[in-house]
A and B are shown apart, each in its own frame.
Chain A
Amino acid sequence: MSRPGRQALPLVTPALLVIGVLFLFPGVYNVVLAFQDLTPFDAPGDAEWAGLANFQAVLTDPLVGSAAVNTVFWLTAATVIIRLVIGMGLALLLHSRVLHRWRLRGFARTAVLVPWMVPPVVAVACWKWIFDGNTGVLNQFLVAIGVLPEGVPFLAQTSTVWWSVIAIIVWRELPFVVIVLLAGLQSVPEEQYEAAALDGAGRWASFRHITLPSLRPVITVVVLMTVIQTFNNFVYVWLSTGGGPGTYTQVLATQLYSKAFVANSLGEGAAIGLAMTAVMAVFALAYLRVSDRGRVEA
């Protein structure tokens, strides 16, 4: 090893150790586990080699297929798109001169952050109460104003359950999108809007030709990060519906949990985990590429 290399080694060793112990080892162990037969009650040394049996069991399970569709469409695509649209609207509102003029900007920005301060478990518990068919405030309100003749069990019927879960996720996770987009908006030079106004551009034209193109890198990062955060999310679905009614809201993360900790097959759980990791790796690589491109352009 060259002299500069030898000098650098002690400096990078702690970081390499952290990466190795906290990230590399669990990742490799998960791969090994996917080929083993082991229950949560056994010591790792008791594991037996299972070959491809875990993958075969997972791939032939129709529930895993429907869970994958739910994960991609409902849990990830729908919530990311809705967060992006509402988040953009709120970010524009928070950036507007109107709120500034009314001296409400500080209050509004704090208010938007409130859901983020609520732990997800507490948020789900509160929303379950809101959605309750008998005593929930939403049902009581809708019945009181005559929209519904009687309470609706939002989390128990197929026509409403996914929209209810999406409402919980969007409410709790929206602040991140708003904050990042707001930061992006604040970096767009005001002169561009003034020049566009002189040229006769209206608000929509300014938004379309100045705001959106300027925010494109930020939006790309937000989309990639929220997809990565949401795709492997377990808490919202498990706590709000447990995957029901029936298996209607099962997602890959809840399937992973069921295989590993309900059926006590850590190997099958690890096999699902590997598949999820492969999908996430694509998004993570895209995210790294976008970040790198941003750095080069800067």
Chain B
Amino acid sequence: MAASAAVALCLGLAACSGDDSGGDGPVKLVFRQFDPESEIGGLKTAVDAWNGSHPDIQVELQTLSPNNIQQFAREANSGSGPDINQVAFADVAFVANSKILQPLDEYLGAGKDDLLATDMVTFEDKTWAVPWTADTMALVYNKEKLGSNKPPTTWEELATTAASIKNGFCFPAAGSQTSAQWFAINYYLWSHGGAFIQNTNGAWSTGATKEQLTSALDFFNGLFTSGATSKSFQAVQDYSDPSIVNGLATGDCAMSYMPPATFATLTKQAGDKVTSAPMPSGLTDGATHLGGRALAVNRNSKHPDQAYEVIKYLTSAETFKTYSQYPASKKTLTELDVPEAQKGYVEQLPHSRSMARYIGSDLTVASIQQLVNQQFSAVYSGQSSSADAAQAILDGLAKGLKG
């Protein structure tokens, strides 16, 4: 009896785990994305519209937030996982290296030329994902709090302007691995001729001198000592932290930086009190980063053709009518009607460059980010001098690059 029950259970489970699109029913695809629910209302609308007009290909939108690419890798390596997976640009190389995605070159064809950040989705001369959205960090400010000051165009101007206002520049300065001070630090370093690592003819090395790093450390620490930034921001990890978003909305903070999706959330709260401008030196080529998300097809998907059809729809202008992100398709980007407050992003985006400059060495971008955030935080909290922290960063990078 027990054996019969076990067999019946196994058969039942086998039936449940089989291909759910067998027979004459519609093809069912799972599309997984990682942005918070609060930012994907427009995406849901677009997916609903697809499902309404494509009864033969139905898409289930799955949210797994925050980004957890390792979960996707675990599922894909065990033969399962969503058909379409949203992948951060910086993660594409890892999943491509593990061959758990389907190459998309034959689908993309010449369409690849229309896309931004293709260097982030290309690995071993194959395209493993389609760049979908593009973003960068722009300067966001409360117009009233900034007063008669113009948005700064250099980092030095930013320090001077911010020091003249209470909480002139609010930024996430925590030492944790994911702390978003990483972006501002890189922007500063890139605009001053350095980078944390660099690839010269295939050989990786550290990309900044001790003096350049010391200068960057002194600059950011100086924001706290000059009063431009309150010390409480040394415990803030994210640009979407309430102390920053509410601070900008209420006028407690004059300036900060954030990606467009967070800015869209902020404008719902603050209305036209806030606006955007390019980051300091943001109109210099390569002085800011081009981030974003790509769409990849799981190698286990039984319906890659249909999955690519959905990807084509998701990258089209139709999706971006409701989805408040910037498309990574140059053509779709030009078709967008961007509100005046978001002009800072649009002006800066063509000058931004992807993080591909950090991809391909033995060091992961996440581990460089952790090392840098820790050392900057160590200076803010008085554990290290800026010279010692700069040396620690160089030593850590050199050790990591050796593998």
**Interface membership of A199, Cβ < 8 A:** no
Query: Which residues from chain A contact B174 at a C-beta distance below 8 Å?
Result: 156, 241-242, 244-245
**Interface membership of B249, Cβ < 8 A:** no
B 356-387 contacts with A by CB, 8 A: 363-364, 366-367, 370, 373-375, 377-384
**Interface membership of A192, Cβ < 8 A:** no
Q: How far is the CB of A265 from chain B (nearest CB, A)?
A: 9
**C-alpha gap A40/B77 in the complex (Å):** 10
Partner of A245, one of B230, B234, B363: B234
Tell me which of B90-98, B208-216, B288-296 binds A: B90-98
When the two chains form their complex, are residues B374 and A41 in contact, meaning their CB atoms are under 8 A apart? no
Q: Kindly name the residue among A132, A241, A242, A244 whose own CB sees the greatest number of chain B CB atoms within 10 A.
A: A244
Query: Which residues from chain A contact B234 at a C-beta distance below 8 Å?
Result: 153, 156-157, 245
Q: Kindly name the residue among A39, A42, A134, A158 whose own CB sees the greatest number of chain B CB atoms within 10 A.
A: A134
When the two chains form their complex, are residues A264 and B381 in contact, meaning their CB atoms are under 8 A apart? no
When the two chains form their complex, are residues A241 and B176 in contact, meaning their CB atoms are under 8 A apart? yes
**Interface membership of B344, Cβ < 8 A:** no
Partner of A133, one of B95, B231, B366: B231
Query: Which residues from chain A contact B176 at a C-beta distance below 8 Å?
Result: 241-244
**Interface membership of B70, Cβ < 8 A:** yes
Tell me which of A84-92, A225-233, A255-263, A280-288 binds B: A255-263
Given the known interface contacts A133-B230, A242-B178, A245-B380, the answer about A43 and B98 at a Cβ–Cβ threshold of 8 Å is: yes
**C-alpha gap A100/B366 in the complex (Å):** 56
**Interface membership of B63, Cβ < 8 A:** no
When the two chains form their complex, are residues B97 and A247 in contact, meaning their CB atoms are under 8 A apart? no
| A-contact bits for B232-252, CB 8 A (1 contact / 0 none) | 111101000011001100001
Given the known interface contacts A39-B94, A40-B73, A244-B175, the answer about A151 and B381 at a Cβ–Cβ threshold of 8 Å is: no
Q: How far is the CB of A158 from chain B (nearest CB, A)?
A: 5
When the two chains form their complex, are residues A261 and B381 in contact, meaning their CB atoms are under 8 A apart? no
Given the known interface contacts A258-B370, A264-B94, the answer about A153 and B382 at a Cβ–Cβ threshold of 8 Å is: no
Query: Which residues from chain A contact B246 at a C-beta distance below 8 Å?
Result: 135
When the two chains form their complex, are residues B231 and A158 in contact, meaning their CB atoms are under 8 A apart? no
**Interface membership of A35, Cβ < 8 A:** no
When the two chains form their complex, are residues B177 and A262 in contact, meaning their CB atoms are under 8 A apart? yes
**Interface membership of B397, Cβ < 8 A:** no
In the A-B complex, the 8 residue pairs with the smallest Cβ-Cβ separation, listed nearest first, are: A242-B176, A133-B232, A244-B175, A246-B378, A156-B234, A245-B381, A156-B235, A41-B98
A-binding residues in B (CB < 8 A):
69-70, 73-74, 77, 94-95, 97-98, 100, 174-179, 230-235, 237, 242-243, 246-247, 252, 363-364, 366-367, 370, 373-375, 377-384, 400
Pull 29 A–B residue pairs with CB atoms less than 8 Å apart, ordered by A. A39-B94, A40-B70, A41-B70, A42-B73, A43-B77, A133-B230, A134-B243, A153-B231, A153-B233, A156-B231, A156-B235, A242-B178, A242-B179, A242-B237, A243-B175, A244-B176, A244-B373, A245-B380, A245-B381, A246-B374, A246-B378, A246-B384, A248-B378, A258-B177, A261-B70, A263-B366, A263-B367, A263-B400, A264-B94
